[in-house]
Structure 1
Amino acid sequence: MSQIAERESVLDKLSIFLVRTATIKPVVTLIVGSVCIVAAAAIGYHLIEFHTSRADLLNPHSEYHQRWLRYVGEFGDQEDVYVVVEGDSPREIEPVLTELAEALRAQPQHFQHIMEGFDAGRLAAKGLYFIPKEELDAIPPRLDRLESVAAQAGASADPGEYLHRLLEQGRALAGADQTQVDAYWHEVEKAFAATAAVLAGKGPELLARHQLGAALPVGEDAHPQGGNSISVPAGSAVAGGGDGSPGGAGEEARGLPAGRGGGDAGAAVSAALNHRRLFSPDGKLGLIVLRFVPDSGTQFARFAERVAALRETLQIVQQRHPQVRLGATGLPVLEFDEMQASGSSGIAAGAALLGVVLVFVAGFGGFRYPAMITISLITAVAWTCGYVAFAVGHLNILTSAFGAMLIGLGDYGVHFVAHYVTVRKEMRGTRAALLKTAATVGGGIATGAVTTAAAFFAGALTDFLGVAELGIIAGGGILLCWLADMTVLPAMICLVDRKPSAAPGSLVDLSGWFRPLHGLPQTGSLVLVLATVALACGLPMLRYDYNLLNLQPQGLPSVEFQNKLVEHMSRSSYFALSVADSPEIALARKEQFLRLPTVDHVEEIVSLIPPDAAEREPAVRAIAERLKRIEQRLSGDSAEALPGRLDAALSEWYAAASRVPALAEFARQIADLQSLLRQIPPEELARRLSALPRAVETALGSQWAALQQAADPEPPTLNDLPESLRVRFVGQNGRHLVQVYCKGDFWDPQVMRQFVADVRSVDPEATGNPIQIYEAARQMNRAYIEAALYAFVAIVLALYLDFRSLRDVGLVLIPLACGMAGLFGLMGYLDIPLNPANMITLPLILGIGIDDGVHIIHDFRRQKGRYLAPQPSTLTAVVVNTLTTLVGFGALMLSPHQGLQSLGRVLTLGMATCLTAALLLPSLLRVLSGWQGPAEGESREGPAEIETVLAETLFRGQAGGDEAAVEPAASEPAERVAVRRARDETAAQDDPDRAAA
């Protein structure tokens, strides 16, 4: 027996064994298959998880991804979500931001670390550390002036003490000139008027402001009235009708520089933190930055509840503010929308299944066989769910559409049924026809399945996890499709066609369509060569698109607002990350990054803390101590002692005024004021006088309050920043994050490459989405190329083991080579770029495109004499099988996901070019057979003993060891032996078949 015969017997034995076993008890086979369906579906439902992050596609052991994982370990894997409010001006946007932030904070179960602006937090109390150094140095001299004022005012909140001091000053005016005397009496008049106002409950502010102004040295800011005598209008003091103006106490009297110094301390903090709200430079966009509360992470679309809650909130706020536009973007939202679009792969799978069924019906002229092929295909997909649960355990972005993929790839039953229909017309028994079909085309079908599966399994050898998992899932699924077509499908046919009288069905004969083409072999061969060359000229125009946003569904608001952020704020979700061990290293790296030509801006929070805080600390502490002393002096004694001292002071003034006849009216007014004082209930009097300390602070003005509020002597630290800001830039172990934004279009390959190189020139350990995307794209492209090379080697090896002829292996590869050259050339002409989604076509086309060539060459080898054209069953099976694959992948173009659309478009073109090349291959084979065909009557499979071996294999173990009784004569043709034995076996098996049915 020749080596070729042994090789053929191995392939056919496998197919014959499966078909023979499945058709002995077809009902049992279908029951077992159904149980496996239920078990596999249940196992898949409970065990398969969905890994929806792009990071799940990467090899965790790769160096660049290890850096990302270290970053995640320090800062977590939560990405920012950007809520965008678009309007005409900040005034229009700001109230919407406030309302929106409140609505988001009311949902802590969904949102965390909400930041609608830069909140100074506890840093506001340490504002003196942020003002310019020259302004800090200018505060002590002004405090000297204020401390002097406070010392003179003493108890500005104590009117009795103040009036007593005024009396002492008057006694010291002996010998003073008239100007000083007039100024003195002017102050006395205003002091009594303000005191009367306090006692009348008309506000302590008059007295407080007057006292601070009067405490200045005489003549400096005083307002002389002129004249030689004091004239106090009648009833003015009691009625409170004196001048209520603050006198001469201006900003300088308060000890602070106008508009500077302590009053700007709080503003200095805001300036250091950039601005209160997050607005674009043109004021058209306002931002709220938040993070989602982590979910289980096992849903197909991660953060589904969070995104739904966010969009519902935006819709509610949008209805109340129609003048602005609201939207959300950021990686979590973008990835959610991408997975939602990928989720439409279920719709694509349904459309693919419908399209495949319609092709089946058109090819077989009825519903019986297409229905059985479809059931077999669905069975294989269900089995694959269980296989996925055990082999991988989860699905990712690439593998989530495996159902549609298998529906397009795994329809090997087309070839089986096409040949069965032809054989069934020649044979009376269904089971014998099935076994004969397995002996005739089983090897070719097995070769096609093994080569396609090998092409996918080769992807498992790459270091790109997404491609490796796709290879494992698709490779195993292909083999399960073949297994279902060799077991479940024959069992169904055996049951449905068990009656000898059952019509075998009809197959659409397509040979007439291609007869003119195959009748001119030289022309067909020339067309194949010229078309391939013409299409290959488009290869230089083929390009690669790195932009992941181009894979998103068109018109998505998340993509639109992402582009707006980049346009208006140079803020993208894609920025490089540098992790520094200390604040000093972070600041040094920031300076280095800013000098790079590809860097737009850098964000970090270390610079929010003044670097000279330690140097400023002594000066700030000294200012804080002096402010404390001044506050104590201005506050005075307790309110309980105030009424007694005021009564005593009024008595002193009355006694002094009574001794001067010219002051008789003034003395009477003092007596009235004292009488009013004694008539007020003690509790009410204490309440009115206790308001004076607060009035003193009010008189000092808002800058005094700002200075006090910004004079915390403790140096500022990062812990003083709001948690929403700190959590983004300070890691669990105290390391510091620096975010580096790219200048220009990051998705431009040249810009991306240079940006990554520049960032790494400063920090070789840098990570972040741009670097992940850059490295992942390189690794993925390399993985696809490696997978294609591995697949090619595996395919060639499998083909050689099948054909044992390098010539025939080369012939099988012709449709694949021409198809791939035509595909990529067409992509160049049509400007369909390669991208991360459709790069998978390399191993896919290798696996799929080889199938047609295998069946054409098997048909070529089976025919005797000069080769004229493929057998009608082979031709129809090739066309129908390829069309089902084309329709299956073409259904992906119905998906809103641009990546799946691109994949479907490329694979549809690839299938079309490979089919065209396969249909032109017979012309080339006819030319070759004319040059070196076998002798008349000799099969291209090898010697005639091959058929004998197949016949022996077909019936080995049947009829209870009766094969010796049907041993053929040496001169009897093997094909006739196979047919005779099949008929004899069918007759012997008729009753058992019916019983099994």
Structure 2
Amino acid sequence: MGTSLVGRIVAVSIRHSLIVLLATLAATAAALVYLAQNFAMTAETGQLISPKLEWRKRVIEFDKAFPQLLNLTMIVVDGATPELADDGAKRLASALQQRPDLFHNVRQPDGGRFFERNGLLLLSMDDVRSVTDALIKVQPLLSALAADPSLAGAMKMLNVTLLGVDAGDVKLKDIEPQLKALAGTFEKAVAGQPAYFSWRTLVTGDTPDLGDTRRLILVQPEMDYGQLQPGQGASDAIRALARSLNLDPAHGVTVRLTGQVPLADEEFASLADDAGLITGAMAAALIGILWLAVRSTRITIAIICTTVIGLIITAAIGLLAVGRFNLISVAFIPLFVGLGVDFSIQFSVRALAERLVRPSLEAALAATGTAIGKALALSAAAIGVGFFAFLPTSYLGVAELGTIAGLGMIVAFTLTIVLLPTVLTLLRAPQAGMKEVGFTMLAPVDDLVHRHRRAVLVVALVAAVAAAALLPLLRFDYNPLNMKSPRVESMATLHDMQYDRNWSIDAINILVPSLADAVPLARRLAELPEVSRVVSLNSFVPENQQEKLVLIGDAVDVVEPVLNVEPAQPATDAELQQRLGATAISLRQAAEHSPDAAAAAAARRLADVLDQLKAATPQVRTAAAAAVVTPLKIMLDQVRAELKARPISIETLPKELIGDWAAVDGRARLLVLPRDDHDDASLRRFAQAVQSVVPDATGWPITTAASGESVVHAFLQAGGYSFVAITLLLVVMLRRTRDVVLTMLPVMLSGLLTFATCAALDLPLNFTNIIALPLLFGIGVAFNIYFVLAWRAGETAMLQSSLMRAVVFSAMTTATAFGALWLSSHPGTASMGRLLMISLGWELLVTLLFRPALLAQPPVRTIAATA
């Protein structure tokens, strides 16, 4: 056999090994310097898909009209009582507004001065009547509390009420809820537990729901797209401010973050949680199986060094080519490692086989280059062409990945035939004396496959047909939220928000030419059965204002005078103890004369705890007072504000509120909320229903489906380009149609079996695991090229050959190393690990059975594998 071009390159490399090594180290150092000086990383997901797509144009147009709604962090403030929620959100929003360096704007969509003053007008007519009647009814209570807003004042108010019970004006049963609420609060205070009390609930008589005890703050944080977590600094600042304001569970308030920014940031944090475990598993699997493949520590070291150096150089070249990495293009790392290690294993295992028959290490390495140089070159070219096929697609993130990975194949091939033999020479590996390189134990299987070739091919055909029949069941999970860890705060909060009738991430936005156009369109959309309600700027101009203002005016006449009084001087602790004791006596007296057993029991329960409170330390009484007085003052301020309601018009709405619903160019925004449960099927129906009325609508339910379709289309498009380009390359290089078919058939079979397995097990493709497909396709193409060229060179016992050893261990290395992703608690990453393991499992089965049967018949003529 003559020496091929690759063989000569290998020979020159090992002859000048020190020069090659020093030149490679110099290039690696230069690459590291370039990376250090020019590294750029964008985590902005909006840059991953082409802005030329119609749905992306609509998103961009909406973002330009309402830039303040872009990249939001939603702060969810939950209080143990409505008062604590209101006060916590108000204080936190005020603190955030003092940090313009971190937050471009801060607003309370359900709070602030406008809603504090006009909240009653925005209620229904029946609700306004109910609230104002309740305020008038409790006027005596409000009068007493406003005059003395303290625990002593609360006891005085209760004593006055008990006098009314004695006089027969009030029944003890009428105040049973208040007695129970006070008793429960004071019992917790005496026990040293957090204690909370709601005067608003006491006044209205309604049990607070989620809408009463939850408030939202929307902030637009400063983003640093050079970091993997661009909004992390702002999120940390929010949490620090909340802690400094005592907004924590110990004080009855929970502050959580969700929204676009925390969801993206915490996804990387959840990935980092398992990084140590996954990286360790990957490294152990990679090193362990590499050693099993070559049974040499020196060769293992040589392969690892070659791979690491190649990764560094590829990163630098890729950065030079595309300017910066994105969330998708960084996937070139596993792609390069998986395919680069395959090239190195192929070379090293063949070198082990050649060393058994060659007189020297140098001769064995040169012969290896001659023997498999063409296969490696053709594999690298085919895989590179496959990656470059992503360039014309609209999925820019994958297009950049294709550029970097394609260039990486050139680097991997070059280092395999230049650096790897150089390092093997310097380490004096492989050594002579190995008894076996191939798998002679598979000789019976080889013979069985040859004797039953037709049966194996028929089984493969049946499997292919069955797999094709299952393909319609294969689905793509369009919802990127399903790929995020449900354990992180942002996702847990988002799931919790689905039960909040007032807020939904699944809302749809619509741009209309003007506010006047919004009215009839809102009515039409509200009639859709899939729609719960439609919000626009007009929604903040209430109906029946005059009638509501009359009801509020009646309450003002009765209630406002008693609220605007000068509070009494605070009672001393001794006076408070005396008041507690006197109230306990009055409660027991009322209980004795009450015919209602439940009300009497509630009165005695409160009397008992008041006695305990009287006998407790001053600190305990202070805690009990705080539980009652803090919400009392908040409630009184809220009532004072509500009674100042004035007529509302578009012109009198706050500028910030107008800006959220009317663009500067006069266009208006409609927000459409879904009615059904927020599962994927109902959201698709909701989106289709809205788009049937307004085709250019946008929003989460629409963009998630559109982005999924764009991604699938991009991969189908790239797959088609790859198939055509690789086929043409093989036609040019192999020059026989039959050989091209024999090369591509196993790739198609393993792909069909992989997708059929996902369909049968209901393992959908998604935005994360679909990135593994180029790696799987590349490995399949490479393996088939190796076998077809070996077959053309006269190899017949495929399963016993050194090539089979290299292929099996290459597949095992990739499968176990990147299958370690399955260990991740991050659903998207774990799904990638599953897909890799399934695909490479089928690839091994195809390699052991179908491919040898396919190549069992000798070629028409033998062509030496030369390059």
Same fold (TM over 0.5): yes
Q: Are residue 600 (structure 1) and residue 593 (structure 2) matched? A: no
Which amino acid in structure 2 is aligned with residue 456 of structure 1? F
Match of 1:268 in 2: none
Match of 1:689 in 2: none
Which amino acid in structure 1 is aligned with residue 282 of structure 2? A
Work out which of the residue numbers 774, 793, 817 in structure 1 matches 2:724. 793
Counterpart Cα distance in 2 of 1:496 and 1:464 = 44
Describe the shift of the 1:387–1:572 C-alpha distance in structure 2 as closer, same or farther (beyond 3 A): farther
Q: Is the 8 A contact 1:318 1:326 kept in 2?
A: yes
Work out which of the residue numbers 891, 895, 898 in structure 1 matches 2:827. 898
Q: Deviations over 1:374-429 (max 9, x none)?
A: 11111111011112212212222222332123212221111111111221232234
* SS of corresponding position for 1:800: helix
Which amino acid in structure 2 is aligned with residue 84 of structure 1? V
Describe the shift of the 1:587–1:35 C-alpha distance in structure 2 as closer, same or farther (beyond 3 A): farther
Match of 2:82 in 1: 90
Counterpart Cα distance in 2 of 1:525 and 1:89 = 76
Please identify, of 306-315 and 772-781, the stretch whose mean Cα deviation from structure 2 is larger: 306-315
Describe the shift of the 1:527–1:554 C-alpha distance in structure 2 as closer, same or farther (beyond 3 A): farther
Match of 2:316 in 1: 386
Trace 1:148-547 onto structure 2 (pairs within 5 A): 282-283=210-211, 285-314=213-242, 317=246, 319=248, 321=250, 325-342=254-271, 347=276, 348=278, 351-411=281-341, 412-497=343-428, 503-504=431-432, 506=434, 509-521=437-449, 522-523=451-452, 526-527=455-456, 529-530=458-459, 533-534=462-463, 536=467, 538-547=470-479
Q: Deviations over 1:752-781 (max 9, x none)?
A: 443333333333332223322121111111
Q: Is the 8 A contact 2:515 2:668 kept in 1?
A: yes
Q: Deviations over 1:676-732 (max 9, x none)?
A: xxxxxxxxxxxxxxxxxxxxxxxxxx9xx99996679xx844564163x34433334
Counterpart Cα distance in 2 of 1:576 and 1:495 = 65
The offset of 1:73, in angstroms, is 2.0
Trace 1:55-70 onto structure 2 (pairs within 5 A): 55-70=46-61
Describe the shift of the 1:542–1:610 C-alpha distance in structure 2 as closer, same or farther (beyond 3 A): closer
Work out which of the residue numbers 875, 880, 900 in structure 1 matches 2:804. 875
Q: Are residue 119 (structure 1) and residue 112 (structure 2) matched? A: yes
The offset of 1:466, in angstroms, is 2.1
TM-score (norm 1): 0.63
Q: Are residue 721 (structure 1) and residue 654 (structure 2) matched? A: yes
Trace 1:572-651 onto structure 2 (pairs within 5 A): 572-609=504-541
- Structure 2 alignment gaps of length 5 or more: 129-203, 554-636
The offset of 1:784, in angstroms, is 0.9
Q: Is the 8 A contact 1:577 1:766 kept in 2?
A: yes
Trace 1:944-983 onto structure 2 (pairs within 5 A): 946=864, 950=866
TM-score (norm 2): 0.72
Which amino acid in structure 2 is aligned with residue 779 of structure 1? S
Describe the shift of the 1:87–1:122 C-alpha distance in structure 2 as closer, same or farther (beyond 3 A): closer
Counterpart Cα distance in 1 of 2:641 and 2:500 = 35
The offset of 1:460, in angstroms, is 1.4
Please identify, of 505-514 and 460-469, the stretch whose mean Cα deviation from structure 2 is larger: 505-514
Which amino acid in structure 1 is aligned with residue 823 of structure 2? L
Which amino acid in structure 1 is aligned with residue 318 of structure 2? V
Describe the shift of the 1:920–1:711 C-alpha distance in structure 2 as closer, same or farther (beyond 3 A): closer
Match of 1:737 in 2: 669
The offset of 1:841, in angstroms, is 4.2
Counterpart Cα distance in 2 of 1:708 and 1:281 = 23
Q: Deviations over 1:346-393 (max 9, x none)?
A: 654564344222111111112100110111111111011112212212
Which amino acid in structure 1 is aligned with residue 783 of structure 2? D
Describe the shift of the 1:706–1:783 C-alpha distance in structure 2 as closer, same or farther (beyond 3 A): closer
Describe the shift of the 1:580–1:869 C-alpha distance in structure 2 as closer, same or farther (beyond 3 A): closer
Which amino acid in structure 2 is aligned with residue 576 of structure 1? I
Counterpart Cα distance in 2 of 1:414 and 1:466 = 30
Match of 1:562 in 2: 494
Q: Deviations over 1:515-545 (max 9, x none)?
A: 2211212447635653674572654543332
Which amino acid in structure 2 is aligned with residue 730 of structure 1? A
Q: Is the 8 A contact 1:785 1:842 kept in 2?
A: no
Which amino acid in structure 2 is aligned with residue 600 of structure 1? S
Match of 2:609 in 1: none
Describe the shift of the 1:512–1:719 C-alpha distance in structure 2 as closer, same or farther (beyond 3 A): farther
Counterpart Cα distance in 1 of 2:121 and 2:273 = 58
Q: Deviations over 1:807-831 (max 9, x none)?
A: 2222222321221122122212322
Counterpart Cα distance in 2 of 1:116 and 1:349 = 44
Trace 1:849-928 onto structure 2 (pairs within 5 A): 849-863=780-794, 867-870=796-799, 872-921=801-850, 923-925=852-854, 927-928=856-857
Q: Are residue 46 (structure 1) and residue 37 (structure 2) matched? A: yes
The offset of 1:104, in angstroms, is 4.0
The offset of 1:449, in angstroms, is 1.6
Q: Is the 8 A contact 1:609 1:718 kept in 2?
A: no
Which amino acid in structure 1 is aligned with residue 304 of structure 2? T
The offset of 1:33, in angstroms, is 1.5
Which amino acid in structure 2 is aligned with residue 113 of structure 1? V
Q: Is the 8 A contact 2:783 2:807 kept in 1?
A: yes
Describe the shift of the 1:726–1:428 C-alpha distance in structure 2 as closer, same or farther (beyond 3 A): farther
Counterpart Cα distance in 1 of 2:641 and 2:92 = 30
Describe the shift of the 1:40–1:731 C-alpha distance in structure 2 as closer, same or farther (beyond 3 A): farther
Counterpart Cα distance in 2 of 1:568 and 1:280 = 13
Counterpart Cα distance in 1 of 2:677 and 2:641 = 45
* Number of residues of Structure 1 aligned to a counterpart in Structure 2: 691
Q: Is the 8 A contact 1:545 1:833 kept in 2?
A: yes
Q: Deviations over 1:32-89 (max 9, x none)?
A: 2122222223323333322223212110111221221122222226233222344665
The offset of 1:442, in angstroms, is 0.7
* SS of corresponding position for 1:459: coil
Counterpart Cα distance in 2 of 1:426 and 1:494 = 17
Match of 1:23 in 2: 14
Counterpart Cα distance in 1 of 2:474 and 2:840 = 18
Q: Alignment identity in percent?
A: 25
* SS of corresponding position for 1:50: coil
Match of 1:144 in 2: none
Which amino acid in structure 2 is aligned with residue 79 of structure 1? N
Describe the shift of the 1:595–1:18 C-alpha distance in structure 2 as closer, same or farther (beyond 3 A): farther
Q: Is the 8 A contact 1:510 1:875 kept in 2?
A: yes
- Structure 1 alignment gaps of length 5 or more: 136-275, 624-701, 935-939, 954-997
The offset of 1:848, in angstroms, is 1.8
Larger Rg belongs to: 1
Q: Is the 8 A contact 2:336 2:408 kept in 1?
A: yes
Trace 1:93-104 onto structure 2 (pairs within 5 A): 93-104=85-96
Work out which of the residue numbers 687, 691, 700 in structure 2 matches 1:756. 687
Alignment RMSD: 3.8
Work out which of the residue numbers 743, 750, 771 in structure 2 matches 1:812. 743
Counterpart Cα distance in 1 of 2:235 and 2:655 = 25
Q: Is the 8 A contact 1:280 1:568 kept in 2?
A: no
